[in-house]
Amino acid sequence: MELIPGFCICVLLSLTLAPASATELTSNATGWVWEGGAVSLYCSTQLTNASFIWHVDGDLLPGGDQYHIFVDPLGPNSTLTISPVFRNNTGSYTCFAYNSTLNETSNALNLSVATPASPTELTSNVTGWVWEGGAVSLYCSTQLTNASFIWHVDGDLLPGGDQYHIFVDPLGPNSTLTISPVFRNNTGSYTCFAYNSTLNETSNALNLSVAKPPSNPSIYCRSDGYTEQVLLGCFWAGGQPSADVKLSFNGTVKEGKDEVTWTVSLDYEVRQPELVCQGDQLGKTSECKIVFERPLSSSHNNNAVTSVTEGENPKLIVTLNTPNSLNPTFSWFHLNPDPVAITSGGKFKVESGDSQSSLLISNVAQSENGTYECRARNIIGSTTFKLNLEVKSQESSGSSRLSRGAIAGIVIGVVAGVALIVVVGYFLVKKVF
């Protein structure tokens, strides 16, 4: 192209530049927003005749009655109000502004929703265990207005039954669940679900543990004797939770749950012959005692004599006062003159129980005449009982008794005498008349 001197060609370029922050997003709340409250987000732009689209976490704002969008017809602004605010409204919000030629995405604004620490709280009038057959009340309080309540146990709806009594306070957002009487199957984790038209909240879990007393109302003391040892025991089982049991004997203490036993040898040296059993279940206590003694018998007489005739089967018996003798062992001896131990076998039979022992001698002979000893021993001590046996010979026994012939002669003589008296009396009466 040929240029004519004195002329120029001018090109006019028209550029429209967007400002660095054409669209800006702000909020009326700084920091956290309380659940159940309201928040407004303001989107302002320098674009003319702008339209707006709202996003949360990169997605289009979902529909819902809680979202209220207002576009200012006098200015390029849009307001998003969320009321009421729910926990799931937490997220990153942006505003997309556009017109026929330009578009702009605002800065991101993070919305954080705060929930009160204990909006709905569950408490009880009982701390710890609840006794079976008693009553317990659970109190559900909430900060929600016009609240309704649903009770759960172990995640399921509370079952029906006459033992459940639910009361809702008309003057305040509170509900009370009373269980009376309490059964063992009421053990579980209880929660209260509070809700209104806009919010809902599940309370903290409250664990209910039902206690059952032991099978026996009182703790039980016991002692069982064996050949060379004694079993001491304290028993208070069958409760829930298990009772704490303590056994005390001769300065030694042993502890356990439900029951405690201790085996004591007969050689054990005893200085304090008292068994003490103590039980404690959730503050309910019980105690029993047994004061032991060496074997004694108030009915026995060491000077008494048992007389028998040789050939008979005498039985010598020793009976102790009380079972508090700790189930002693018995030993029998014949003083001849030194003690000779006697055991069951042959013509001797020894039988012993908890508080009695006997010696049976079959077909006793004069050589078995004399004094016998029964020694009863337990861990407290021992006692020797003497039994005197007099064995008479059959001859000496017969001389002291009438023979059969003598008895017959006496009978005949008596009959003859009676007959003579009758005859004499008859003749005397006849002579008179």
**Residue range 363-417, pLDDT digits in tens:** 999 999 999 999 998 878 889 999 999 999 887 665 545 555 555 666 677 677 7
For the chain, where do the domains classified as CATH 2.60.40.10 start and end? Answer: 23-114, 120-211, 220-291, 305-396
Location of structure tokens 């309201």: 38
**What is the fold, at CATH topology level, of the domain defined by 305-396?**
Immunoglobulin-like (2.60.40)
3-state secondary structure of 69: strand
In DSSP terms, which residues pair with 376 in a beta bridge? 330, 383
Cα torsion angle, 324, 328, 334, 335, sign? negative
Q: Is the pLDDT of residue 64 over 70?
A: yes
State the CATH architecture for 120-211.
Answer: Sandwich (2.60)
Q: Mean pLDDT, to the nearest integer, of 201-229?
A: 90
Measure the CA–CA gap between 354 and 222, rounded to whole angstroms: 13
The CATH code of the domain at 23-114 is: 2.60.40.10
Mean confidence (pLDDT) of the chain? 86
pLDDT at 105 (0 to 100): 94
Closest to 223 in 3D by CA, of 281, 270, 282: 270
3-state secondary structure of 390: strand
Q: Mean pLDDT, to the nearest integer, of 139-157?
A: 93
Between residues 337 and 281, the one the model is more confident about:
281
**Residue range 399-414, pLDDT digits in tens:** 545 555 555 666 677 6
Judge whether 286 and 228 are in contact, CB under 8 Å.
Answer: no
Q: Mean pLDDT, to the nearest integer, of 85-95?
A: 91
Q: How confident is the model at residue 11 (pLDDT cuts 50, 70, 90)?
A: very low
**Residue range 308-364, pLDDT digits in tens:** 999 999 999 999 986 555 678 899 999 988 899 999 999 999 999 878 999 999 999
pLDDT at 324 (0 to 100): 57
**What is the fold, at CATH topology level, of the domain defined by 220-291?**
Immunoglobulin-like (2.60.40)
